[in-house]
């Protein structure tokens, strides 16, 4: 008894630790972060009470608009109160993904391409039956495509997203550059290089282009709005039949992205976000959300289609939309709130704040920015020429929906990483092949994300 070998307490500690770990494993096997619930279990509820709403802490103007909409919702009726929570955008997806089923909110904001993985992970409920049919049928086609998974609508959107090359007419004229205003006439990538050459002489720093580098190509911006349009316009895709090898690393993509990276020498890093408004650059490759600041240029602000890499100009569509938590006990009240969000008045309040194209048919028709002869007509036209998903691209359509797959988190991480590397000077073939293999490996490990 007296001579216990020295190591026993150490061994005991390890045994205890192992026991704790195994207990933890057991925990995670039933309700930890590793498990989705067994599908949505929505209850209609009484249609009264307080609903929890989660959203991304966006631009100050968007937050104010959202709060305004909520307060008018609360004053329009007396039965439903809204409890809003805002999350920093870099932490939002993690928050939704790691919420236990009981902690999910009744209504949540989500970024279009994350929807498929949220649905796959059992975080979202289909809207039919809670949201009115009138609301669902009033959604524009391209936003419908984004919010539909397995033929069921999981989200409704107030806004769509549009990309363009914003141009400074004064500088363009000074360099003697004629610019296209319709998608059919977009500059080819070759012509674009020549245009940059000319423009370099009229801007103070000699770098006439802004590619929104400040957002970081290694993240969602790189996939959606930078690499995406370049790849699609060059005739390539990110995935083909759920596989990246042979699609993402195709010769066409290598060529397009190498071309894109060659413009780095003309590019202002725009860390302050002011390159365009301060006149340091003549062209800015960015989304509609800069319109509220860019409109300071007045009539000198023009929108130009993105360069054409061979298969016509392409842009990404899809953005943040609204859905219901998988386990809401207040389906009716949540539906009422979503209906209110999608009313013309709410949509206008919101899209006026951020310059986005409205995503409901009725508010698009009455928009003061989007429509024939309006200042942002081009962005609206691009969205009306919707291609749908990658596999349906042709020469004449313009806006493409990002791949709808539960494996999107991996796709975006790898595509963004590859684009950033190519832009920093890495060989495109190498970067894209590595990304493609990583994506395929992940899909294989998850049986192609089939239910």
Partner 1 sequence: MKRTHRWQTALHYLILTAVALFFFLPVYYLIVGSFRPSTEVLSGLSGFVPTNLSVENYIGVFDHLSSDATGYFGQFAVVSIIVTTAVVAGSLFVNSMAAYSFARMQWRGKKVLFLLVIVLTIIPFEAVALPLYFMFSGQRDTIYIQAIPFMANAFSIFLFYTFFLDVPGEIEEAARLDGAGPFRTFFQVIVPITKPAFATVAILTFLAQWGSYLWPVLMVSDPTVRPLPLAISIFQNQQPPEWGQVLAFGTMFIVPVLAVFLIFQRWFVASISSSAVKG
Partner 2 sequence: MTTQTQQIQAPTVPARRRSSAGLSGHRFAGPLFASPALLGLAIFLVAPFVLAVVLSFYRVQLNSPRPARFVGFEQYARLFTDPDLAAAFGQALLNNFSFALIVVPVQTVLALALAVLVNRKLRGMVIFRTFIFMPLVFPLALTAVIWRLIYSRGDQGLLNAILGLFSGGTLSSHDWLGDPATALGSIIVMSIWQSVSFQMIIVLAALQSVPTELYEAASLDRASKWAQFINVTVPGIRNTLIFVALITTIFSFRLFDQVYLLSRSGSVDRGSTETVMTQIINTGFDNNNVGQAAAMTVIFMLIITVIAIIQRAAARQRGGV
| Site for partner 2, rule CB under 8 A | 2, 13-14, 16-18, 20-22, 24-25, 29, 33-37, 94, 97-98, 120-122, 205, 207, 213-214, 216-219, 264, 268-269, 271-272, 409-410, 413-414, 417, 420-421, 423-426, 434, 437-438, 441-442, 445-446
Query: Do 429 and 249 form a contact (C-beta atoms < 8 A)?
Result: yes
- Residue 273: which of partner 2, partner 1, none does it interact with, CB under 5 to 8 A by kind? partner 1
Is residue 206 involved in binding partner 1 (CB under 8 A)? no
Q: How far apart are CA 367 and CA 347, in angstroms?
A: 10
Select the binding partner of residue 109 from partner 2, partner 1, none (C-beta < 5 to 8 A, by kind): none
Residue 224 burial class via C-beta count within 10 angstroms: exposed 0-12, middle 13-18, buried 19 and up: buried
Binding of residue 44 to partner 1 (CB under 8 A): no
Q: Which two tokens stand for residue 11?
A: 């061994």
Q: Considering the rule CB under 8 A, would residue 272 count as an interface residue with partner 1?
A: yes
> From the list partner 2, partner 1, none, which binds 194 (C-beta under 5 to 8 Å, kind-based)?
none
Task: Choose the contact partner of 102 out of partner 2, partner 1, none; CB within 5 to 8 A by kind.
Answer: none
CB 245 within 8 A of CB 429: no
Note whether 386 and 429 are within 8 A (CB): no
By rule CB under 8 A, what count of residues binds partner 1? 48
| Choice from 38, 60, 75, 450 touching partner 1 (CB under 8 A) | 60
Residue from 65, 69, 99, 261 touching partner 1 (CB under 8 A): that is 99
Residue 27 interacting partner from partner 2, partner 1, none (CB closer than 5 to 8 Å by kind): partner 1
Does 31 sit near partner 1 (CB under 8 A)?
Answer: yes
The yes or no reply on residue 63 touching partner 1 (CB under 8 A) is: yes
Q: Which residues pair with 51 in a beta bridge?
A: 82
Binding to partner 1 by residue 41, rule CB under 8 A? no
Taking CB within 5 to 8 Å according to partner kind, which of partner 2, partner 1, none is near residue 91? partner 1
Show the beta-strand stretches assigned E in 77-226. 80-88, 107-111, 124-125, 148-149, 152-153, 155-156, 163-168, 209-210
Residue 426's binding partner among partner 1, partner 2, none (Cβ under 5 to 8 angstroms by kind) is partner 2
- For the stretch 381-418, what's the b/e string if a residue is b when 16 or more beta carbons lie within 10 angstroms of its beta carbon? bbbebbbbbbeebeeebbbbbbbbbbbbbbbbbbbbbb
289 contacts partner 1 (rule: CB under 8 A)? yes
To 10 degrees, the CA torsion angle through 24, 27, 33, 36?
A: 150
Least distance to partner 1, CB of residue 26, Å: 11
What is the C-alpha separation between 414 and 75, in angstroms, rounded? 46
By CB under 8 A, tell whether 9 contacts partner 1.
Answer: yes
Q: How far is the CB of 447 from partner 2 (least distance, A)?
A: 8
Q: Does 22 bind partner 1 (CB under 8 A)?
A: no
State the Cα–Cα distance between residues 217 and 240, nearest whole angstrom: 23
Which residue from 37, 44, 48, 59 is in contact with partner 1, where contact means CB under 8 A?
59
Token pair recorded at residue 387: 């291609």
**Whether 228 contacts 316, CB under 8 Å:** yes
Q: Running DSSP on this structure, what letter comes out for residue 295? A: G
CB of 217 to partner 2, least distance (A): 5
> Which residue among 90, 133, 241, 447 contacts partner 1 (CB under 8 A)?
90
Cα–Cα distance measured from residue 294 to residue 307, given in angstroms and rounded to the nearest whole number: 20
Which residues 6+ apart lie within 8 Å of 278 measured at CB? Answer: none
Q: What are phi and psi of 325, to 5 degrees?
A: -65, 150
Nearer to partner 1, 90 or 241 (CB): 90
Per partner kind, with CB cut-offs from 5 to 8 A, the member of partner 1, partner 2, none near residue 268 is partner 2
Nearer to partner 2 among residue 49 and residue 88 (C-beta): 88
Q: How far is the CB of 414 from partner 1 (least distance, A)?
A: 20
Q: Helix or strand or coil: residue 6?
A: coil
Q: Which DSSP symbol is given to 264?
A: G
Q: Which residues bind partner 1 (CB under 8 A)?
A: 4, 6-10, 13, 20-21, 24, 27-28, 31-34, 57-60, 63, 67, 83-91, 94-95, 98-100, 103, 214, 271-274, 277-278, 289-290, 292-293
């Amino acid at each position: 008894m007296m001579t216990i070998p020295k190591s026993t307490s150490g061994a005991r500690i390890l045994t205890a630790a192992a026991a704790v770990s195994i207990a933890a494993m057991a925990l995670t096997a039933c309700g930890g972060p590793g498990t989705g619930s067994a599908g949505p279990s929505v209850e209609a509820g009484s249609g009264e009470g307080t609903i929890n709403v989660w959203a991304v802490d966006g631009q100050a103007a968007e937050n104010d608009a959202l709060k305004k909409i909520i307060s008018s919702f609360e004053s329009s009726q007396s039965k439903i109160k809204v409890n809003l929570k805002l999350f920093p955008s870099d932490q939002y997806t993690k928050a939704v993904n790691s919420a236990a089923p009981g902690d999910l909110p009744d209504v949540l904001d989500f970024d279009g391409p994350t929807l498929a993985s949220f649905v796959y992970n059992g975080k979202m409920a289909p809207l039919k039956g809670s949201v009115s049919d009138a609301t669902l049928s009033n959604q524009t086609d391209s936003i419908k495509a984004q919010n539909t998974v397995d033929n069921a609508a999981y989200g409704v959107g107030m806004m769509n997203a549009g990309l363009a090359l914003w141009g400074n007419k004064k500088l363009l004229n000074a360099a003697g550059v004629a610019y296209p205003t319709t998608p059919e006439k977009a500059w080819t990538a070759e012509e674009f290089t020549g245009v940059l050459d000319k423009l370099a002489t009229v801007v103070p720093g000699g770098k006439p282009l802004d590619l929104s580098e400040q957002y970081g190509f290694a993240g969602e911006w790189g996939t959606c709005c930078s690499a995406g349009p370049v790849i699609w316009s060059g005739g390539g895709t990110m995935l083909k039949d759920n596989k990246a090898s042979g699609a993402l690393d195709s010769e066409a993509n290598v060529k397009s992205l190498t071309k894109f990276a060659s413009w780095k020498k003309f590019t202002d890093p725009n860390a302050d976000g002011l390159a365009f408004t301060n006149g340091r650059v003549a062209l800015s490759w960015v989304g509609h959300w800069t319109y509220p600041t860019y409109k300071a240029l007045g009539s000198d602000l023009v929108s130009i289609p993105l360069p054409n890499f061979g298969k016509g100009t392409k842009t990404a569509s899809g953005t943040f939309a609204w859905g219901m938590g998988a386990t809401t006990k207040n389906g009716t009240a949540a539906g009422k709130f979503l209906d209110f969000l999608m009313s013309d008045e709410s949509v206008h309040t919101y899209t006026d704040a951020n310059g986005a194209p409205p995503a409901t048919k009725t508010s698009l028709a009455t928009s003061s920015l989007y429509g024939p002869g309006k200042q942002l007509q081009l962005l609206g036209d691009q969205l009306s020429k919707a291609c749908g998903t990658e596999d349906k691209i042709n020469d004449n359509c313009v806006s493409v929906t990002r791949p709808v797959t539960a494996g999107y988190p991996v796709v975006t991480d790898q595509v963004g990483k590859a684009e950033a590397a190519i832009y920093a000077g890495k060989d495109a073939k190498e970067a894209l092949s590595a990304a493609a293999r990583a994506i395929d490996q992940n899909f294989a490990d998850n049986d192609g994300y089939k239910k």
